[in-house]
Amino acid sequence: MADLLTLVLALAAVLVGLAIGFLAGRALTRRTLELDYREREREARRDSVDRSRATLSGQFLEKLAPHFPGFPYEPTDLRFIGTPVDYLVFNGLSEGEVDEIVFLEVKSGGSSLTTKERRVRDAVEAGAVRWDVYRVPDEG
């Protein structure tokens, strides 16, 4: 009978030890995941702020670029579009003669063309550009 009691107590001690280990492991895992989540959230917020700053500074520079020394076009020949390209340049318009029309994208830092900008570039380079006139229908 004493051996049975010892066996039951040993089994109970093992089960209690397992339960305590399980609960401790669960608590540690939860805390670790929570800390990891907070760090990932902090990093995501930092990344978001950095991207926002880059976008805003890029937009600011787009507007200032025509006034920088060495800018290759006459600022009065430019028309700001914004998207999918920044400017249309009517080269020579300020002097009364248009020599060429240029689709101009202003970039800063290491930024590259977006997919839409590349598609516009490809269409222009392929010569898929034309002139058209739309006439508003007369009323009546």
pLDDT of residue 140: 63
Identify any residues that bridge with 90 across adjacent strands, giving them in sequence order. 101
What gap in Å lies between CA 9 and CA 69, rounded to an integer?
88
Sheet of 87-91: strands edge to edge?
A: 78-80, 87-91, 100-104
* Whether the predicted model's global pTM rises above the 0.75 cut: no
pLDDT of residue 109: 80
In Å, how far are 49, 79, 94, 116, 118 from 63, measured between CA atoms?
A: 21, 11, 19, 20, 21
Single out the residue of 78, 114, 106 nearest to residue 93, CA to CA.
78
The pairing of beta strand 87-91 with beta strand 78-80: antiparallel
Low-confidence ranges of the chain (pLDDT < 70): 140
pLDDT of residue 40: 86
DSSP assigned state of 66: G
pLDDT of residue 13: 85
